[in-house]
């Protein structure tokens, strides 16, 4: 029997699900740095390995381990949340990168794509020399252009690498020098408008070994030609992106040879691969059975009596108060059971919106340090609203704050900051209003990692990390009927700004995550002129029928829906502003708030997010006791100015 091994690369910072199938060999990428205990998944840190290079090679450390340490007739690679589909049918694709989208890895989803069917997979794989992920056209994405243009933009947007042309030219030159047989293929691939990527494949041993020799040689050479010390954190993954280009080049070479049997398969993207549920049906049944036993023990006096009679123990009858507590717990458990139906059923009941609202309304609020931070930031929002209302300045809740207002009538229980949106002309009025204010100010912050100028409303006289983030919007005149294409043009402008921004910051040696530049007035002046120049390119002085995300805001992250949905709105989507309650105070929200939230997150505001219970800023801004002391001092001072919270 042909030996088939498809290696699945798993992250070490996440407990991701393992689909049970003997063809899949689940491995931890970068296991040498895994500090977790009692992990059953094998690691890439045994035998001949490069596990210590996972920070810039990503899943290629798993591929290397398979190449050097495992013997099979067919080798494959996929990822903890990206798999090749072996279904007998094709499914509709909405995601611009060519993926079929699924929320979670469940037993039913795995069966849908034949991922739990080794017999069917084996039969299909043996028909071909190579199976690879279906390409997608960049003409349907915000990047557009050729593969060369797309990879250049990806490196800038995703990794903040500002000299991509030189890097890509180096890759092409190295291929020509060391593997001339693949040179026509990489030229053809770079000029194409069709991306072959994501390192999802199954291929015969001979071809797999050829590809590995090619990829790892060029990646090593590129790393030696680039000063890797200039890259930090996620930026080091530039070598892995180059490996992905080489993968597409090798597939192109196989195509051009015209002597191999090849098949394209659809790719499945599971947005939430974490192990909050399991993909094995028998294990699911066991967990459900244990869960129901616990439910009965909590809510059914009869069941408890039967259990105790069986154990030859006596039981006293519950008091009326205890029965009331049991009834309250029973209602909470019913809500959780309804939530299970919501997350698992493909067809939702008619009252599902009410079920979701009920679940979120009963979700526990924040407490402890997080709640203290929330209260401090809420004081800032309260004071800013007082000032804005006094002179007719309009703003609205944005991002997580908008979701919190709609869903929780206040903060999302794990959120720790406040975001608002504001038109540029209103923001100019607010800045002018605060010029002579002795207590509050607008602080400009220059993020080197996001190539942006950010704005915060905060205290002038108390040094603290309590503030309101302000995001600027501009009146805008689209140049195309297709708003998504117009959004792509705005991103192209932002890329131009980012390149100049990064260059200027590097020249002056400014590397921190954020910097006020108050002690560098000349640099601040140069950056302000640069950003203002680019912002004027899209901003209309007079109100128009369209409103767009300001170019000086945070750089769009291509993993977020805003990157590909297009953050251009009709003016009627924003105005007239509506109202909602936020922490007991009336706040403003966009007129078409459902569209606004969907454009930001790609889901309805009542749907389950991916980052539940993750507080993003606590560890950054409030890790030291002095930070908390400053927050508490601010709260006391604000209370002294007039009770509110």
pLDDT at position 348 = 46
Percent of the chain predicted with pLDDT > 90: 48
Q: Is the pLDDT of residue 337 over 70?
A: no
Residue 6 neighbours by CB under 8 Å, 6+ apart: 23, 24, 25, 75, 76, 77, 78, 202
Strands 130-133 and 201-204, by their bridges, are antiparallel
Burial of 489 (0-12, 13-18, 19+ CB in 10 A): middle
Of 425-434, 467-476, 599-608, which range is least confident?
599-608
24-28, 127-131, 444-448: lowest mean pLDDT where?
444-448
User: Could you tell me which of 70, 60, 67, 75 has the C-alpha nearest to residue 29?
Assistant: 60
pLDDT of residue 451: 78
Most confident of 252-266, 403-417, 510-524: 252-266
Supply the pLDDT for residue 645: 52
Residue 94 CB: number of other CB atoms within 10 A?
7
Outline where 58-130 has alpha helix (H): 60-69, 107-112, 118-125
Average pLDDT, the chain: 84
201-251 residue pLDDT tens: 999 999 999 999 999 999 999 988 877 777 776 677 889 999 999 999 999
Mean pLDDT computed over 468-488: 89
Which two three-digit tokens encode residue 294? 């616990």
User: What is the percent of the chain with per-residue pLDDT over 70, rounded to a whole number?
Assistant: 82
Coil/strand/helix, residue 130: strand
pLDDT band, very low/low/confident/very high, at 159 (cuts 50, 70, 90): low
Q: Where are the alpha helices (DSSP H) in 438-581?
A: 483-507, 521-536, 561-565, 571-574
Is the pLDDT confidence value at 111 over 80?
yes
Tell me how far CA of residue 281 lies from CA of 105, 115, 189, 326, in angstroms.
12, 13, 42, 31
pLDDT for residue 462: 87
Q: Which pLDDT belongs to residue 307?
A: 62
pLDDT of 179 over the 60 cut: yes
- Nearest Cα to Cα of residue 495 among 141, 154, 191: 154
pLDDT at 346 over 60: no
244 or 349, greater pLDDT: 244
Q: Quick one: pLDDT at residue 332? A: 55
For residues 506 and 469, is the Cβ–Cβ distance under 8 A?
no
3-state secondary structure (DSSP) of residue 118: helix
pLDDT at residue 2 is higher than 80: yes
Q: How confident is the model at residue 317 (pLDDT cuts 50, 70, 90)?
A: very low
Q: How far apart are CA 514 and CA 444, in angstroms?
A: 10
Per-residue pLDDT for 84 more than 90?
yes
257-271 residue pLDDT tens: 999 999 999 999 998
Q: Are 432 and 386 in contact (CB under 8 A)?
A: no
- Mean pLDDT over 334-342 rounds to 53
Question: Picking from 500-509, 552-561, 572-581, 624-633, which range would have the lowest pLDDT averaged per residue?
Answer: 552-561
In this prediction, residues 610-620 reach a mean pLDDT of 68
Confidence of residue 340 (pLDDT cuts 50, 70, 90): low
Residues 6+ apart with CB under 8 A from 118: 21, 22, 23
The mean pLDDT value for 392-415 works out to: 94
Write the pLDDT tens digit of every residue in 119-143.
999 999 999 999 999 998 887 665 5
Helix runs in 196-280, H state only: 205-225, 238-257
Q: What is the pLDDT of residue 316?
A: 41
Q: What is the pLDDT of residues 48-72, one digit of tens each?
A: 999 999 988 999 999 999 999 999 9
Top pLDDT among 293 and 54 is at 54
Query: Who has greater pLDDT, 101 or 340?
Result: 101
pLDDT at site 625: 79
């Amino acid at each position: 029997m042909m030996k088939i091994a498809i290696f699945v690369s798993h992250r070490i910072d996440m407990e991701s699900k393992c689909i049970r199938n003997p063809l899949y060999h689940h491995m931890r990428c970068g296991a040498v740095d895994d500090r977790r205990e009692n992990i059953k998944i094998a690691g890439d840190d045994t035998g001949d390995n490069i596990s210590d290079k996972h920070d810039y090679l990503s899943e290629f450390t798993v591929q290397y381990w398979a190449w050097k340490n495992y013997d099979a007739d067919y080798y494959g690679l996929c990822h903890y949340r990206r798999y090749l589909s072996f279904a007998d049918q094709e499914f509709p694709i909405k995601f611009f990168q060519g993926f079929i989208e699924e929320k979670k890895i469940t037993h039913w989803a795995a069966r849908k794509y034949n991922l739990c069917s080794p017999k069917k997979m084996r039969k299909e794989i043996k028909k071909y020399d190579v199976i690879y992920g279906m390409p997608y056209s960049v003409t349907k994405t915000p990047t557009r252009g050729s593969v060369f243009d797309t990879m250049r933009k990806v490196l800038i947007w995703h990794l903040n690498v500002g000299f991509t042309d030189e890097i890509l030219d180096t890759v092409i030159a190295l291929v020509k020098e060391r593997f001339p047989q693949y040179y026509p293929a990489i030229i053809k691939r770079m000029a194409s408008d069709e991306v072959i990527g994501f390192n999802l494949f199954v291929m015969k041993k001979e071809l797999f070994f050829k590809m590995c020799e090619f990829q790892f040689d060029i990646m090593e050479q590129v790393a030696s030609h680039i000063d890797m010390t200039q890259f930090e954190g996620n930026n080091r993954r530039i070598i892995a992106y180059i490996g992905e280009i080489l993968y597409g080049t090798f597939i192109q070479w196989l195509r051009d040879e015209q002597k191999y049997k090849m098949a394209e398969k659809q790719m499945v993207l599971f947005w939430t691969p974490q192990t909050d549920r399991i993909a094995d049906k028998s294990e699911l049944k066991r967990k459900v059975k244990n869960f129901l036993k616990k439910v009965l023990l909590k809510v059914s006096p009869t069941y408890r009596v039967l259990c105790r009679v069986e154990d030859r123990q006596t039981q006293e009858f519950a008091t009326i108060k205890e029965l009331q507590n049991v009834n309250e717990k029973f209602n909470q458990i019913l809500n959780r059971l309804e939530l299970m139906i919501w997350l698992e059923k493909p067809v939702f009941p008619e009252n599902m919106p009410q079920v979701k609202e009920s679940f979120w309304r009963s979700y526990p609020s924040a407490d402890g340090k997080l709640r203290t931070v929330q209260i401090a930031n809420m004081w800032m929002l309260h004071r800013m609203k007082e000032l804005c209302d006094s002179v007719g300045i309009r703003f609205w809740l944005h991002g997580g704050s908008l979701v919190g207002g709609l869903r929780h009538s206040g903060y999302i229980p794990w959120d720790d900051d406040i975001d608002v949106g504001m038109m540029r002309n209103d923001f100019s009025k607010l800045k002018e209003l605060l010029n002579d204010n002795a207590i509050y100010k607008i602080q400009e912050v220059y993020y080197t990692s996001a190539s942006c100028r950010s704005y915060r409303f905060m205290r002038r006289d108390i040094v603290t990390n309590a503030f309101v983030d302000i995001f600027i919007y501009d009146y805008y005149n689209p140049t195309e009927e297709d708003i998504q294409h117009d959004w792509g043009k705005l991103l192209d402008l932002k890329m131009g700004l980012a390149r100049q921004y990064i260059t200027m910051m590097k020249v002056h040696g400014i590397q921190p995550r954020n910097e006020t530049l108050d002690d560098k007035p000349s640099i601040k002046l140069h950056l302000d002129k640069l950003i203002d120049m680019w912002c004027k390119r899209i901003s209309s002085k007079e109100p128009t029928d369209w409103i767009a995300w300001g170019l000086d805001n945070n750089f769009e992250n291509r993993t977020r829906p805003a990157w590909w949905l297009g953050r251009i709105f009709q003016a009627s989507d924003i105005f007239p502003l509506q109202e909602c309650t936020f922490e007991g105070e009336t706040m403003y929200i966009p007129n078409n708030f459902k569209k606004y939230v969907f454009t930001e997150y790609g889901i309805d505001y009542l749907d389950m997010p991916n980052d539940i219970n993750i507080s993003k800023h606590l560890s950054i801004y409030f890790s030291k006791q002095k930070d908390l002391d400053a927050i508490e001092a601010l709260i006391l001072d604000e209370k002294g100015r007039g009770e509110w919270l």
